[in-house]
Chains A and B, each alone.
Chain A
Amino acid sequence: MNRFFFVLLFMIVFSSSYGWMGRNITLLQHGERVFETYCSGCHALEYLSLERMQRDLGGPVGHDLSQVSLPKSDAIHWFGRMPPDLSLIARVRGASWLSAYLKGFYADAHRPFGANNTLIPNVAMPNVFAPMTDDVRIGVLRQQDVDAAIHDVVLFLVYVAEPAALERYRMGGFVILWLCFMVLFLRLWIKSHIFKHETVKCGKILTCDP
């Protein structure tokens, strides 16, 4: 029974951490480039420090994304509001919502920027991936490239929302492993040292008869 329990626990822990441990840093780097190209003109990542990003994504990548050059007065003039900071958007909305949102843009001549969204009707944001979609139409790009861009930029936003996640999964595995060993060790130690006493010689004090 105990053995079964441990095997089950190991499987749960490591299957959940596998996705992160096996994650390709290049996808994150690609996501970062997509963000820089298509998003960073309007959206800041206030809580992301350049130093942290370079350390996590390996080597000197990207630029400081914590501020935008877009003046607030212009933003309000064009969009009606300042585009929101996206540091924590992945924790607020979740990854699947974000990719559904980015894929949910469609052409709508009634909107000021010619695009509308299925998830947020009449959204103020223009369809920033429209140039990519146009490239697909003329055959320069493949649809997979657009999907990969959206996938990776969402992945990047998930990373930005919680950079510690990279460290968290790695460390968690070791902590759980250590605790499993402690449990096994304690079990053996208790059996050999404590429950050899006469009054509880049956080993399981729960089932002793008086």
Chain B
Amino acid sequence: MNKIVTWIDARFPLLSTWKRYASEYYVPKNLNVYYYFGIFALVLLGNQLLSGLWLAFFYTPSVQDAFHSIESMMRDVPYGWLFRYLHSTGASGFFIVLYSHIFRGLLYGSYQQPRELVWLLGVVLFFLLVLEAFFGYLLPWGQLSYWGAQVMTSLFSALPYVGDTLVLWVRGDDMVGNATLHRFFALHVIALPMLVMFFVYLHLVALHKVGSNNPQGIDITLYRDEFGHPLDGIPFYPYYVVKDLMAVMIFLLLFFSMVFFFPDGGGYFLEAQNFLPANVLETPDLISPLWYMAPFYAMLRAIPDKLAGIFVLLSAPMMMVWLPWLDNSPVRAMRYKGIYSKIALLAFVVVFVMLGYLGMLAITPARLYWARTGTVVYFAYFLLMPVYTRRERTHRVPERIGMR
């Protein structure tokens, strides 16, 4: 075994990479439960790739056969149902994990200097995964797949001058049809997975360059022992590897409970209407997006003007891009920030959940009012951040982890 490693290491940076990324990569020792969501996302990415591969063996991307091929997968292919549920539950699970991962970033200021690039690469990943989910959602060719794609692609038509041409270019047809299904399939299984994997790689490389943040937001590199190792850090291997392994096991326990016992997720993971094959002549009563897109969809509907609505829809997640430069606080972690930041984050989370709820319901005047209020609060969280982070009184950050 040692011989093989030596042979490889003479030709490939095996041991140095292992040291750099695992055995001598020092991680703050006080990471809490929020720091597991990164590894969960990685596990789910692996799950999506493998289960997706299996699904692609049996799926037929054509208007005539798409729905049928999935139903036959659910019945006639050995364990086809399992792989489909792994993929569909994995998609929703992915966004639960991602939103928690992002929340961790907001809570502990993981986007602040020197981790701006880690954050930005993460934001790019979020955009890519939203697109990936959107393309994948058309593939079952159910009622909501079809009408959802119809609605979302029609948004381009609001752009002046080029709108209609652009819609035609995106769909490859006047309506969402065979051409659209084919290209969405290609994008879903080839283009976006490759991009996602590349950006995950960059995200990790950038993270390992600057090291993990921690719940206290303390820089562990300032105090080192005689070997140059951070005093408040422990090596990623073996300590965090086994900790992550344990966390992943518990995560899988919850994940498989969903896969086997609640694959529909109460109609949120697999929507009832999507078990009807797409019908061009019958628009569903309510075209609602999947829950993870719903907050942004609620914002789109809250704006009376179509073009302005699209602008808001795009700028809502784009706000995250500016976040490292909006936060003027001298401290990273929420526990040392002042009361304004705490109220702002709480309001942001409440409003985001509320918008998600509203985005899945039909519009009424009262809901419209709440959606508009929610949109204003959502943007205020970001746009007022330079003001409230500078004005509030922050607490003193201890020198080292564990000190008060």
Q: Which A residues lie at the B interface, using CB under 8 A? A: 9, 12-13, 16-17, 47, 49, 52, 87-88, 91-94, 161-164, 167-169, 171-173, 175-176, 179-180, 182-183, 186-187, 190, 194-195, 199-200, 205-206, 208-210
Tell me the minimal C-beta distance from A67 to chain B in angstroms.
Answer: 15
Is there a chain A Cβ closer than 8 Å to B173's Cβ?
Answer: no
Q: B231 contacts A168, CB within 8 Å?
A: no
Q: B275 contacts A91, CB within 8 Å?
A: yes
Is there a chain A Cβ closer than 8 Å to B280's Cβ?
Answer: no
Nearest-CB residue, chain B, relative to A89:
B275
Which residues from 194 to 235 on chain B have a C-beta closer than 8 Å to any C-beta of chain A?
Answer: 231-232, 234
Q: A47 contacts B400, CB within 8 Å?
A: no
Question: Using an 8 Å CB-CB cutoff, how does the interface string of B266-281 with A read, 1 for contact, 0 for none?
Answer: 0000001101100000
Is there a chain A Cβ closer than 8 Å to B72's Cβ?
Answer: yes
Tell me the minimal C-beta distance from A173 to chain B in angstroms.
Answer: 8
Is there a chain A Cβ closer than 8 Å to B46's Cβ?
Answer: no
Nearest-CB residue, chain A, relative to B272:
A92
Give chain A residues whose Cβ lies under 8 Å from the Cβ of B262.
16
Chain B: interface secondary structure? helix
Q: Which B residues lie at the A interface, using CB under 8 A? A: 29-32, 71-72, 74-76, 81-82, 85, 231-232, 234, 238-239, 242-243, 245-246, 249-250, 252-253, 256-257, 259-264, 272-273, 275-276, 400-403
Chain B CB within 10 A, most for which of A91, A173, A200: A91
26 A-B residue pairs with Cβ-Cβ distance under 8 Å, sorted by A, are A13-B261, A16-B262, A49-B76, A52-B75, A88-B275, A92-B275, A163-B75, A164-B75, A164-B81, A168-B82, A168-B85, A171-B260, A172-B257, A172-B261, A173-B260, A182-B249, A183-B250, A190-B243, A195-B239, A199-B234, A205-B29, A206-B31, A209-B402, A210-B232, A210-B401, A210-B402
Give chain A residues whose Cβ lies under 8 Å from the Cβ of B81.
162, 164, 167-168
Q: B253 contacts A47, CB within 8 Å?
A: no
Give chain A residues whose Cβ lies under 8 Å from the Cβ of B253.
9, 176, 179-180, 183
Give chain A residues whose Cβ lies under 8 Å from the Cβ of B72.
47
Give chain B residues whose Cβ lies under 8 Å from the Cβ of A92.
272-273, 275-276
Give chain B residues whose Cβ lies under 8 Å from the Cβ of A179.
249, 252-253, 256
